[in-house]
Amino acid sequence: MIALEEYTEELQQKRIEKENSLLEPSISGLTLTRNSTKFGLAIQVDFKNTIGSSTSISFKIHLEGKYPFQPPRITCETIYGYPSISDGRDLLDNILKKQWTPNTTVVEIINCLKSFISELAHNPSIRPGSFKLGTAMSLDSWDNKRDMKCFRCIELDPQNPKFTRDRALVITHTHILQLELNSLYEGVGHLVCWSSLQLLSAVKKGRSDPDRLIFEWKPINNNPQLAQQFKVKDHDALIEVISENLKKLGGSVKRHVVQEVPKIKEEEVNASSLKKIKIKDILKAIANLEKETAVVMNYKNVHALIDYYQKAIEYYSALSDEKFEEYIQKLQKLFSNEKVLAILNSPEPKAEETKSGKRPRVKDEPVELQSAPENFGDKWPSSEVINEKTTEETKTTFEDSGDKWPTEEKIHEVEEKIHIEDYGEKWPSEEEIKEKRTEGINELLQQLERELNDNDEDEYDENMVNEILETEITAGVKNVKIDEESNENKEKTSSETENTNEGAGKENEESKEGIAEAGEQNTVSQEMSLETNVEEEPNVIQNAESGVEKEIIEDSKNEELN
């Protein structure tokens, strides 16, 4: 404290003159350069380099401040390797290897520099030196140094954007130095903060203001993560220097470009523009998709339904219509379905491919085609014109396929085949009808015999038996006639519908008439066969009656004999 109180500029000047007198005889083989600075004197010492490819290595001894009561600062000015110690760090403690005192002279420091250089030559990987807070540094110290650069900037306070500080960011091979600019001396800054490049977590560039950079630092120990904001004009060059040095140090650099969200124009969201949207089509699509998803849910229809719900919500909300709440509720209900959530979380299904690399053929979906009249003028074409055109098209089809025009017999066969396919049964033959009638009568006779045997009375009413038989036979014949009449009615209705068809040709009408005639012939033949069966049945009945009479007569004779 006594030495500091006695310090004067005159005393400092005398000490510097004494140092110069001592340097002259003891610096043989060295080059000394004296430069005055804003804070004192800087002596540059050049040695013959034995490290790297450069011819010489230089050091600066800064006799500044309240020297000799304040220790000097020694910096390396030559880059001889990577990473270099020529970044503004103080090497005094590593060079002297002892605590500095005011009695330590510059000659002693230079002699220690010789041993320090030889030490670096044997072990170039050592990184001596350290940074000290408050150190005054010239901003041009890094101008001619490879992969190092100083950037003037403004530090922003996130809590108070109006509060700013003038700063300088220095990017070295291994560190980022933050200097506070001296308002009295231009080009001079004081070290207020420094950190290793490897502690930098991310550098973000503002979207609206590209000059604004955000430095995010990794947390140290239990301290929270720190973030700083700077406004740098040459921001791209700063990011490039940081990236190159990190890569050389073995770090990884990832660049992420966030795409700007497209701005929606005002005319795209106002009510007048939304009125152009066909809301009826949207509501129709929603109704169809709701029915479809009620049966089967898949990736396609679920996503389509969500899109249409959103369109309806946007439409009604822009028009201030309360219906938008209805579709919001539908959308919320859809999202509450577990099946829907499973589909939304699943990836989009890819189209299957065959072994040859081609996609399999997809079955054609049914498509409704609406027929429209041809250009016949204002009038609809007559049935004759349609028939002529249909006949020509049918003939052309048969000519192209190589087939002959079908005969009436072939048409009858086709119609019978269609009739059988429609009803699933063949038309019964005459023999089958006879067999069925005979079986029915035999069963009736057997039933009568059982009733006669069970009855204890001796006499029977023959008229009653005949009436029962006639009633059953008549009912059977009526049933057959009813069936025939129903078949005839079906054929008549089918022929009437065919005759009213506008697209039938003349040849088709003739073929249908032939089919109708064939049908009538079949009907007549069937009626004839039924009549013959009915005629034959009375014989069976008579035989049955005669058998009954014989039994009655024999019973009466036996009674008389007895």
- Give the per-residue pLDDT at 355: 44
- Domains of the chain plus CATH, in order, are 2-122 (3.10.110.10), 136-248 (2.30.29.30), 270-345 (no CATH), 408-561 (no CATH)
- Give the per-residue pLDDT at 340: 87
pLDDT at 138 over 50: yes
Q: Which of 136-140, 261-265, 307-311, 388-392 has the lowest mean pLDDT?
A: 261-265
Residue 140's pLDDT band (boundaries 50, 70, 90)?
very high
Per-residue pLDDT averaged across 406-415, rounded?
60
Higher confidence at residue 33 or residue 364?
33
Q: Which of 202-206, 249-253, 409-413 has the lowest mean pLDDT?
A: 409-413
- Give the per-residue pLDDT at 245: 93
Q: Before 68, cis peptide (omega within 30)?
A: yes
Residue 561's pLDDT band (boundaries 50, 70, 90)?
very low
CB 178 within 8 A of CB 193: yes
434-466 pLDDT, tens digit per residue, is 777 777 777 777 877 777 776 544 444 555 555
pLDDT at 551 over 80: no
d(CA 328, CA 311): 11
Mean pLDDT across the chain, nearest whole number? Answer: 72
266-309 pLDDT, tens digit per residue, is 555 555 555 667 788 899 999 999 999 888 889 898 999 999 99
Q: What residues are paired with 164 via a beta bridge?
A: 156
Residue 76's pLDDT band (boundaries 50, 70, 90)?
very high
Own/partner contacts of 118-123, CB < 8 Å, gap of 24 or more, are: 118/50, 120/51, 120/80, 121/50, 121/51
CB 197 within 8 A of CB 249: yes
Q: pTM score > 0.85 for this model?
A: no
pLDDT at 415 over 80: no
d(CA 109, CA 503): 118
CB 61 within 8 A of CB 74: yes
Residue 74's pLDDT band (boundaries 50, 70, 90)?
very high
Q: What residues are paired with 153 via a beta bridge?
A: 167
d(CA 379, CA 254): 75
- Give the per-residue pLDDT at 473: 53
119-132 pLDDT, tens digit per residue, is 888 887 788 899 99
Residue 530's pLDDT band (boundaries 50, 70, 90)?
very low
Residue 180's pLDDT band (boundaries 50, 70, 90)?
very high
- Give the per-residue pLDDT at 526: 45
Distance from the first to the final alpha carbon of the chain: 175
Place of tokens 């990836």: 347
Can you list the alpha helix ranges (DSSP code H) found in 267-407?
A: 271-274, 279-295, 299-318, 323-335, 338-345, 383-401
Nearest to 137 by CA among 39, 211, 67: 39
d(CA 524, CA 183): 127
pLDDT at 197 over 80: yes
What does the block give as tokens for 179? 């200097």
341-397 pLDDT, tens digit per residue, is 888 888 777 655 444 444 444 444 443 334 444 444 445 555 565 556 555 655 555
Residue 149's pLDDT band (boundaries 50, 70, 90)?
very high
Place of tokens 């239990």: 222
Q: What residues are paired with 75 via a beta bridge?
A: 60
d(CA 6, CA 11): 9
d(CA 383, CA 487): 29
pLDDT at 334 over 60: yes
Q: Which helix (H) or strand (E) holds 9?
A: helix 9-23
Higher confidence at residue 418 or residue 306?
306
SS3 assignment for 81-145: CCCCCCCCCECHHHHHCCCCCCCCCHHHHHHHHHHHHHHHHHCCCCCCCECCCCCEEEHHHHCCC
Q: Reduced to 3 states, what is the DSSP secondary structure of residue 151?
A: strand
Dihedral (CA of 212, 214, 215, 220) sign: positive
